[in-house]
Amino acid sequence: MDERSTDLNGPKLEAFFSALAEASEKSSVSESFADKLTQFFDELPSLASDHEERERSSPKHSELLRFFSLVQLPLEAVIDGGGLLNLWEIAGLRYHEVRTACALAGLWRSDFGGKVSRGFLVSYLELVAKDVNWPEELCDGYSVYTEVNPLGDQTDRVDLVIDTPRYLIGIEIKIRAGLGKEQLERYEKTLKARAEHTQKIPILILLAPFSAPKHVAISSSWADVRNAAINASKVDREQRTLAHNLIAQFGNYVARH
């Protein structure tokens, strides 16, 4: 059994988490957290086979309550700094195009992250369709839909449709699958018909690891999404919100596509 002290007391915990809180203010927060957490658990009493020893070395109920109270804020600081697991890894998006499209649509919707989500979409559109004042266009309101047919039937469903005051934008998403025969040509036709009906300008974008056929759609890569996510989440730490973190993590996650 480990010969080190098995005392797990309040002062020891307070000293540990006081140092941890100070470390969370520095840029190396995740590294400091890992080192200190490893040290802390190294100092915990080893599991003994003797019943009396287990009872003697177990912390009191009040000390456990204090432990979880003290650990909450430092852990939140590390999570806010992106120091733990990427949420999108846990969500299991992998290379599933429909799930990825739904996640992207959710992050772009203003009712999710307000100005942060709008900034993410603005950054993406500015990289892809550069001849429009997107901050001004989206400031007047927009909607994001998934799996939509612009003409209302069940055929030729575009993965994402963004409806703005003057534009109707269709985004077809590909990760590992290829395009069907004349798939983009059909989408272009239905998108154009819907745009004419609503007196809007159609824009068709292919978001994929390969280029679209010329004069059919605008080509966009997952690097554009990653770069837009970086731009949208580039704020001081004090201003970072959950939306900033989720967008940044999503950009890192899809960068491999």
Please state, in angstroms and rounded to a whole number, the distance separating the CA atoms of residues 67 and 51. 24
Kindly give the confidence (pLDDT) of every residue in the chain, 257 residues in length, as a single tens digit, with 9 standing for 90 and above: 444 444 445 555 555 555 555 554 544 444 455 555 455 445 444 433 344 444 444 444 445 455 555 655 655 665 565 555 566 776 677 888 888 888 899 999 998 889 999 999 999 999 999 999 999 999 999 999 887 655 444 556 788 999 999 999 999 999 988 888 888 999 999 899 999 999 999 999 999 999 998 789 999 999 999 999 999 999 888 888 888 988 998 998 998 88
Domain boundaries, the chain: 10-84, 91-254
Burial class (CB in 10 A: 0-12, 13-18, 19+), 57: middle
**pLDDT of the residue at 49:** 39
Pull the structure tokens for residue 125. 């559109």
* Pure H helices in the chain: 10-23, 29-42, 51-57, 61-80, 87-91, 97-108, 110-113, 115-128, 134-139, 183-197, 222-232, 242-254
pTM beyond 0.75, yes or no: no
**pLDDT of the residue at 98:** 85
**pLDDT of the residue at 61:** 44
Give the up-direction half-sphere exposure of residue 147: CA atoms within 13 A in the CB hemisphere: 7
Give residue 236's identity as a one-letter amino acid code. Answer: D
Phi, psi of 28, deg, nearest 5 = -90, 35
Pull the structure tokens for residue 225. 């999404």
**pLDDT of the residue at 121:** 98
